[in-house]
């Protein structure tokens, strides 16, 4: 299983490359998406993941819509709907921006406030190469902006305010 790389890994600071035409619909792309889904599935607090976060320099991110609900269902091993965004680009964003709390699976333990557009619309491609647009507000718009930042080699801590570092949580074990 692919591990999520942490701040300091060079791939996180590079602009990711577009997925080439010949890769759409292939077993190679299918494996990349599976690796991303598996890596995100094991991070209960993660809502989205960009390919560079598992050391793959492609312009791909995924979102777990089930984890974006105000009261997400308990993790049961079942993966809810996963949004796949290949070669994404912003189509539009609201003028209004909000200061939001943010963290990152590749910058574990650090949290801060970022200024994000309240709403955003992304145009991207699917596994088979067809184009679609998806808009959203709130956490989904924030995820779009956070993940496209990853694809451009930007981490949230580069522009976050009031960054705090929290100690790692100790996992409880039950006998």
Which positions are catalytic?
147
CA distance 3 to 54: 6
Q: Which helix (H) or strand (E) holds 104?
A: none
Backbone angles phi, psi at 100, to 5 degrees: -130, 150
Q: Which residue has the tokens 């902006």?
A: 145
Question: How many Cα atoms occupy the beta-carbon half-sphere of 45 within 13 Å?
Answer: 9
60: closest CA among 82, 92, 76?
A: 82
Question: How many Cα atoms occupy the beta-carbon half-sphere of 144 within 13 Å?
Answer: 26
Q: Which residue has the tokens 């308990």?
A: 74
């Amino acid at each position: 299983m692919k591990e999520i790389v942490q701040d300091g890994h060079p791939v996180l600071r590079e602009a990711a490359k577009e997925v080439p035409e010949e890769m759409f619909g292939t077993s190679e792309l299918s494996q990349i998406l599976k690796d991303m889904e598996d890596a995100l599935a094991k991070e209960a607090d993660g809502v989205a993941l960009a390919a560079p976060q598992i050391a793959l320099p492609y312009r791909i991110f995924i979102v777990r819509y089930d984890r974006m609900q105000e009261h997400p269902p308990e993790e049961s091993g079942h993966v809810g709907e996963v949004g796949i965004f290949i070669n994404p680009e912003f189509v539009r964003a609201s003028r209004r921006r909000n200061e939001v709390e943010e963290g990152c699976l590749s910058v574990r333990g650090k949290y801060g406030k970022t200024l994000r557009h309240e709403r955003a619309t992304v145009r991207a491609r699917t596994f088979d190469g067809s184009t679609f647009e998806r808009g959203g507000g709130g956490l989904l718009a924030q995820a779009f902006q956070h993940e496209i930042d990853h694809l451009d080699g930007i981490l949230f801590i580069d522009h976050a305010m009031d960054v705090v570092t929290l100690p790692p949580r100790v996992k409880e074990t039950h006998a």
